[in-house]
Amino acid sequence: MYGMGGAFALAFIMVFFWMPESAYAREALNIDTGNEKVIMEGKAKLRQLEHLQTTGEQPNSWIKDLLPYSGYVNPVSFWNTLIRPFYLLASPNVLWAVLLFTTCISWLVGISLTLSQIFSAPPYNFSVGAVGATNLSSFVASVLGTLIAGPLIDGMVTQMSKMNGGIFEPEFRLPIMVTYLLFTATGFFAWGQSAYAQEPWPIPVIVCLGLINFGVQLGTTGVVTYIVDCHRDKAGEAFATMNFIKNLFAFGLSFYINDWIANQGIRDCFFTIGGITMAVTLLTIPM
């Protein structure tokens, strides 16, 4: 807890001094339509911006950038921005993303809540420090998944766009969910079975947790990039919706998952979670 407190304090200092408010109205070039008129208008606007930059327009001083508030600059009204996250649930894209994002992240929260329950008991009898060290496997797998996910998804999108006559579609982000299904669902089934059979700790800790976290990184990257491409002008509100519902679900999960394992056993619990993961991920097919 001291280490976490120090990390948050350092992050607060860095954000305060070196992360100025970046929400500002700016000209943007629409790259989706391929319309020559739009392209020419975009070039004209870029020339106007270059002219403004060369006529001595003064940027804000560093001291002024430290101000916590500099006025409301969003062209969309405040009240519209406030309700956008809720009406975006009417979008099938966002609704699908909410389901996938919620299960992706919340199951990891469930695992972290049950590690002590599983590994502090016989036959493992881990100490408190050893239980905490089991998260190292998740960390390594998450880093590997993060490094691989971006290039893998972008490469897949590039190839599919070429096959589609050079036309990009957001749905080209979705095939990556096959890897999420394979790695994460397999990891949950293996996790439940290995812990139930009391296999040697490297199997549940290294193999199973590694599979789950690696798959989750691939899956969440696919979900996030898909939503950005579907709702570019409302991506922030879509993420707010996804995080709000995910946090509600994870919060509720903390009240019952330990009792769920105690009543039904770890095997049935994580087999059910694996089945839910498969069912939700298969909704990618109609998407």
- Whether 38 shows a pLDDT value over 70: the answer reads no
Give per-residue pLDDT as tens, 178-223. 999 999 999 999 999 999 999 999 999 999 999 999 999 999 999 9
Residue-range domains of the chain with CATH:
16-75 (no CATH), 84-284 (1.20.1250.20)
| Angle made by CA atoms 268, 274, 277, in degrees to the nearest 5 | 145
Q: Above pLDDT 70, what percent of the chain?
A: 85
Q: How far apart, in Å, are the Cα atoms of 252 and each of 101, 105, 256, 262? A: 16, 13, 7, 17
**Number of CB atoms found within 10 A of residue 24's CB:** 8
Distance CA 30, CA 48 (A): 16
Q: Where are the beta strands (DSSP E) in 80-140?
A: none
Q: Is residue 104 helix, strand or coil?
A: helix
- Whether 126 shows a pLDDT value over 70: the answer reads yes
Instruction: Give φ, ψ of 33 to 5 degrees.
Output: -85, -30
Per DSSP, 57 falls in state P
Give per-residue pLDDT as tens, 135-162. 999 999 999 999 999 999 999 999 999 9
Residues 183, 218 contacting (CB under 8 angstroms)? yes
Give per-residue pLDDT as tens, 94-107. 999 999 999 989 99
* pLDDT value, residue 40: 47
Distance CA 199, CA 192 (A): 11
**Number of CB atoms found within 10 A of residue 63's CB:** 7
* pLDDT value, residue 5: 96
The owner of tokens 């509100």 is 237
Give the model's confidence band at 51: pLDDT under 50 very low, under 70 low, under 90 confident, else very high: low
Residues 38, 30 contacting (CB under 8 angstroms)? yes
Of 90-99, 130-139, 232-241, 277-286, minimum mean pLDDT range: 232-241
What tokens appear for 17 in the block? 């001094």
CA dihedral 45, 46, 47, 51 (to 10 degrees): 100
**Amino acid at residue number 253:** L
22/112: higher pLDDT: 112
**Amino acid at residue number 230:** C
* pLDDT value, residue 19: 83
Distance CA 257, CA 266 (A): 10
* pLDDT value, residue 153: 94
Of 85-94, 186-195, 246-255, minimum mean pLDDT range: 85-94
* pLDDT value, residue 9: 98
Distance CA 234, CA 250 (A): 24
Residues composing the chain: 287
Q: Which of 278, 271, 257, 273 is nearest to 118 (CA)?
A: 257
| Angle made by CA atoms 116, 117, 121, in degrees to the nearest 5 | 95
